[in-house]
């Protein structure tokens, strides 16, 4: 009986003290969360292609789906035609501007010539009265006045041509902006993955009609997969942003880590999702960490979190 009792006590001590069952005070129960991105079309239309399926990995820039581009393609071609028409109008206005400048130069030259002739006759008349016939003097003055009026009209025409050039250039810029908008809307009919991640859900099939801004595909970006766990008041100061922690889950590879990026400022009671005999009704702080291998984790998956891999319980 003494030997049996000693053996029983030894077995109980071994079961109680063995490393695989010993749980550190800094082992926390947590779970995986994610922030999905919902990709949609800005306009209503028919899905001509769904390029992904649920659970598929996608890289940044991969096409997700396509909406029938017929209407938007027509609008794009119309915008290009408008640009061509406005550019032709601009070229015509530029030719008119060149002609107005030429007319002004000619009118200014004529004004200079007739002005010089009039001033010469007027000077001769002042030096010697009667040396110039009054009729010749009046005709010279009339020619000079007519040349000045033509010059002023040419200047006005030049100003009008300059204004028309500005208006034509504005129309070209406006039509180019319209083309840019049409091309962007055309591109929006074929959304691409904004970042690498996993397709969480596909809400429509090819051939179905979708309304504007209705989610078609949801993606879990790798950068939005996080491990959420709760730390007691006594230990929260050790888990500040930048701290690395060891994580493990059932069926996951060993050696996985995460980096703390957020610590709540206010404590809360342990949420029901991680209630246990050891954790319930304790005041804790929410902590979120970014895993180094987000593609290996699934939202909702329970995980163990510890300060180091050696503290994690054996699985």
pLDDT in tens, 147-175: 888 988 888 888 888 888 888 888 888 88
* Residue-averaged pLDDT of the chain: 82
Model pLDDT, residue 226: 93
d(CA 94, CA 97): 5
* 88 vs 275, higher pLDDT: 88
Residue 79 DSSP symbol = H
Share of the chain above pLDDT 70, in %: 86
Angle at alpha carbon of residue 56, lines to 40 and 226, rounded to 5°: 80
Task: Map out the domains of the chain as residue ranges.
Answer: 24-35+222-311, 40-68+190-219, 70-188
Bridge pairing between strands 302-306 and 244-248: antiparallel
Q: Which residues contact 286 (CB under 8 A, 6 or more apart)?
A: 228, 230, 262, 263, 264, 268
Query: What are the DSSP E strand ranges found in 203-265?
Result: 209-210, 215-221, 225-232, 244-248, 257-263
Share of the chain above pLDDT 90, in %: 24
Bridge pairing between strands 257-263 and 65-67: unpaired
pLDDT exceeds cutoff 50 at 37: yes
pLDDT exceeds cutoff 60 at 11: no
Class of domain 40-68+190-219: mainly beta
pLDDT tens column, 171-206: 888 888 877 777 777 777 888 999 999 999 999 999
Between the alpha carbon of residue 228 and those of residues 82, 137, 155, the distances in Å are 55, 103, 76
d(CA 87, CA 176): 10
pLDDT tens column, 298-314: 888 999 999 888 877 76
What are the residue ranges of helices labelled H in the chain? 2-17, 70-127, 134-188
Class of domain 24-35+222-311: mainly beta
Whole-model pTM: value is: 0.55
């Amino acid at each position: 009986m003494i030997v049996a009792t000693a053996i029983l006590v030894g077995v109980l001590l071994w079961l109680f003290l063995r490393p695989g069952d010993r749980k550190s005070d800094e082992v926390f129960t947590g779970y995986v969360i994610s922030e999905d991105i919902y990709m949609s079309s800005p306009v209503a239309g028919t899905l001509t292609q769904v390029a992904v399926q649920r659970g598929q990995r996608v890289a940044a820039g991969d096409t997700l789906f396509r909406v029938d581009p017929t209407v938007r393609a027509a609008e794009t071609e119309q915008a290009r035609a408008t640009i061509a028409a406005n550019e032709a109008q601009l070229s015509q206005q530029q030719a008119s501007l060149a002609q107005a400048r030429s007319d002004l130069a000619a009118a200014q030259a004529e004004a200079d010539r007739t002005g010089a002739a009039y001033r010469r006759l007027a000077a001769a008349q002042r030096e010697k009265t009667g040396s110039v016939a009054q009729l010749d003097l009046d005709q010279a003055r009339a020619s000079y006045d007519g040349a000045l009026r033509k010059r002023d009209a040419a200047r006005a025409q030049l100003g009008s041509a300059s204004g028309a050039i500005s208006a034509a250039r504005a129309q070209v810029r406006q039509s180019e902006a319209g083309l840019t908008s049409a091309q962007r809307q055309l591109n929006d009919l074929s959304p691409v993955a904004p970042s690498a991640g996993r397709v969480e859900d596909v809400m429509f099939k090819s051939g179905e009609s979708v309304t504007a801004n209705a989610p078609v595909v949801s993606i879990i970006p790798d950068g939005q997969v996080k491990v959420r766990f709760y730390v007691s008041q006594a230990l929260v100061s050790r888990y500040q942003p930048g701290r690395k922690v060891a994580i493990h889950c059932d069926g996951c590879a060993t050696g996985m880590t995460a980096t703390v990026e957020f610590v709540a400022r206010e404590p809360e009671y342990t949420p029901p999702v991680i209630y246990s005999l050891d954790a319930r009704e304790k005041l804790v702080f929410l902590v979120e960490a970014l895993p180094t291998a987000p593609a290996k984790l699934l939202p909702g998956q329970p995980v163990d979190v510890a300060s180091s891999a050696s503290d994690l319980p054996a699985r």
